[in-house]
Chains A and B, each alone.
Chain A
Amino acid sequence: MLRTTVDSVVSFYGSFATRPDLTTNQDILQDLAVALLDKGTTERDKFQIAEELESRGAEIRFHSMATRIAFSGKCLNRDVTPVIGICAEQLRKPSLSEDEYNKVLPRLQASVMQSMESTGAQSGSALRRLIFDKNHPNFAHAPEAEMEMLSDTKLADIAGYYRSRAGANEFVLVVVGDFEADDVTKAVSTGFGEWPDQNVSRKYDRSPVEKSGSPVHIPMRDKQNLDVRIGHAVDVIRTHRDYLPLYLGIFILGGNFSSRLMDTIRDKEGLTYGIYAQLNGVSSEFCGYFLVRATFSADTLDVGIRRTNELIAEFAENGISPEELASKKKTVSGSYKVGLASTGSLARTIGTNIISGLGAEYVDLFASLVEGVSVEEVNAALSKWIDPDKLLTATAGTLGT
Chain B
Amino acid sequence: MDTVVSFVQESGGVKEYKLDSNGLQILIMQDLSAPVVACMITYRVGSRNETSGLTGATHFLEHLMFKGSEKYNKAKGTSVFNVLQDVGARMNATTWMDRTNYYELLPAEHLDLALDIESDRMRNALILPEDVESERTVILNEFDRGENEPTRKLYHEVWTTAYSAHPYHHPTIGWRSDIENVTASDLRGFYDRFYWPRNATLSIVGSIDIDEALEMVSRRFSSIPEGPEPALVTTREPEQLGLRRTTVSQAGELGSLMMAFKAVSADDDDALALDVLSIILARGKTSRLYRALLETSLASGVDASNTALRDPGLFYVFAVLNPESDHAVIEEAVWNEIQSISREGVTQAEVDSAIGQLQALEAYSRDGAFSIVQQLNEAIASGDWKLYTEYLNRLEAVTPDDIQRVARSYLTDNRATIGKYIPA
- Chain A residues with CB under 8 Å of chain B are 4-9, 11, 38, 46-47, 50-51, 53-58, 74-76, 102-103, 106-107, 109-111, 113-114, 116-119, 177, 220-225, 256-258, 263, 266-273, 295-297, 300, 327, 330-345, 397
Contacts and interface: CB of A to CB of B under 8 A. Distances in A.
B254 A338 contact: no
B33 A4 contact: yes
Interface in B319-342: 320, 322-323
B98 to A, nearest CB: 24
A327 B105 CA distance: 18
Q: Which of A46, A50, A55, A337 has most B Cβ within 10 Å?
A: A55
Contacts of A9: 363-364, 366-367
B285 interface: yes
Contacts of B363: 7-9, 57, 76
B33 A6 contact: yes
Nearest to B291: A47
Interface string B136-158: 11111110110111100000000
B90 A338 contact: yes
A107 B295 CA distance: 11
A6 B89 contact: no
Contacts, number: 198
Contacts of B89: 334-335, 338
B359 A57 contact: yes
Which 5 pairs between the two chains have the least Cβ-Cβ distance? A334-B88, A57-B360, A342-B368, A110-B300, A221-B251
Interface of B: 32-36, 66, 74, 79, 81-82, 85-90, 105-107, 133-142, 144-145, 147-150, 250-254, 283-286, 294-295, 297, 300-301, 320, 322-323, 352-353, 356-361, 363-364, 366-371, 424
A258 B145 contact: no
Given A258-B85, A337-B36, 11 more contacts: A5-B32, A55-B353, A57-B360, A103-B297, A106-B323, A177-B367, A221-B424, A273-B145, A330-B88, A335-B89, A338-B90
Contacts of A330: 86-88
Given A9-B364, A267-B134, A272 B251 contact: no
Contact of A334 (B107, B251, B285, B294): B107
A258 B82 contact: yes
Contact of A256 (B85, B144, B252): B85
A225 B107 contact: no
Nearest to B249: A222
A268 B67 CA distance: 10
A331 B88 contact: yes
A272 B36 contact: no
Contacts of B368: 6, 341-343, 345
A272 B356 contact: no
Interface centre among B89, B141, B252 (most CB of A within 10 A): B141
A350 B360 CA distance: 24
B256 to A, nearest CB: 10
A295 to B, nearest CB: 6
Contact of B105 (A110, A269, A338): A338
Contacts of B32: 5
Given A76-B360, A334-B106, A272 B138 contact: yes
A390 B411 CA distance: 58
B300 A46 contact: no
Contacts of B106: 334, 338
A227 B333 CA distance: 37
Contact of A257 (B81, B145, B352, B367): B81
Given A11-B367, A258-B79, A331 B33 contact: no
A103 B295 contact: yes
Given A114-B254, A337-B107, A300 B86 contact: no
B88 A332 contact: yes
Contacts of A47: 285-286
Contacts of B285: 38, 46-47, 50, 54
A113 B254 contact: yes
5 contacts: A4-B34, A57-B359, A256-B81, A295-B145, A334-B106
B253 A114 contact: yes
A337 B35 contact: yes
A152 to B, nearest CB: 17
Nearest to B358: A57
Contacts of B370: 341-342
Contacts of A103: 294-295, 297
Contacts of B35: 337
A57 B361 contact: yes
B373 to A, nearest CB: 12
B356 A225 contact: no
B138 A273 contact: yes
B33 A117 contact: no
A264 to B, nearest CB: 11
A41 B139 CA distance: 49
A272 to B, nearest CB: 6
Contacts of B323: 106, 109-110, 113
Contacts of B250: 222
A153 to B, nearest CB: 17
Nearest to A102: B297
A341 B251 contact: no
A58 B360 contact: yes
Given A57-B356, A221-B251, A327 B86 contact: yes
Contact of A56 (B86, B147, B356): B356
A50 B253 contact: no
A341 B360 contact: no
Contact of A54 (B36, B66, B85, B286): B286
A313 to B, nearest CB: 23
Contacts of A266: 138
Contacts of A116: 253
A342 B144 CA distance: 34
A361 B341 CA distance: 53
A208 B367 CA distance: 41
A340 B33 CA distance: 10
A310 to B, nearest CB: 18
Contacts of A109: 323
Nearest to A296: B141
Contact of B360 (A56, A300, A335): A56
B88 A341 contact: no
A53 B140 CA distance: 44
A225 B253 contact: no
Nearest to A346: B34
Contacts of B133: 270
Contacts of B139: 273
